[in-house]
Amino acid sequence: MSFKQFMQPRQRNQFQVIGEFLYVEACNDKVLLQTERGEYRLQQGAQIIDDNLSGLVSIENLGEAGNVEILYGFGRYVPPTDGQAVSVSDMPAVQVSELPAIQLAENQQVAVSALPEVALVAGQQVAISELPKVKLETGQRVNVYATNPLLTKPVGGASVETSLLTIASGLAVLTANSSRCHVVIKASVTNTGVVTIGNGFTLSAGEKQRIDSFGGLSFSGTDNDTIEIIEVIR
* pTM of the predicted protein model: 0.38
Question: pLDDT-based confidence at 129, cuts 50/70/90?
Answer: confident
Averaged pLDDT score across all residues of the chain: 85
Query: What's the pLDDT score for residue 35?
Result: 87
DSSP letter at 65 equals S
Question: pLDDT-based confidence at 38, cuts 50/70/90?
Answer: confident
Closest C-alpha to 201, from 216, 183, 215, 219: 219
- Quote the CA–CA distance of 181 and 183 in Å, as a whole number: 7
Report the pLDDT averaged over residues 85-114.
65
Percent above pLDDT 70 for the chain: 87
Q: What does the pLDDT look like over 199-211, one tens digit per residue?
A: 889 999 999 999 9
Query: What's the pLDDT score for residue 223?
Result: 96
